[in-house]
Amino acid sequence: MTKPRIWISNAKPMAGEIVRVRALIEHRMESGMRLDNDGNVIPRHIVHTFTAKLNDQLLFTWQPETAISQNPYIEFTFVARESGTLSMQWVDDANQTISGAVELEVNR
């Protein structure tokens, strides 16, 4: 699997500043509702859990459903309160994990 593409609005925000995060992964996302050329159902294979943490503190979690698009893009914001590692993790139906991280340095 390829690494996720992660963008943050400011890697060195002031304390209390809102930080915007955008992330994109490459994943085929099979819904389990399509048939192959022989008429067999292609098994469901989607990302079912996304988590974002700053220094192991949960910021955001999301549990997408079957209708999620291929190569999912997510955007969220949070208030910068402390420096550390912003880590994100996507887990799919095959228990494969895609992870990415960026560093954040909060200025006081």
- C-alpha distances out from residue 60 to 32, 34, 51, 65, Å: 27, 31, 6, 17
We find that the CATH architecture of domain 5-104 is Sandwich (2.60)
Residue 30 is classified by DSSP as B
pLDDT in tens, the chain (108 residues): 689 999 999 999 999 999 999 999 999 899 999 999 999 999 999 999 999 999 999 999 999 988 888 999 999 999 999 999 999 999 999 999 999 999 999 998
Q: Where are the domains of the chain?
A: 5-104
State both tokens at 35: 């048939």
pLDDT for residue 1: 65
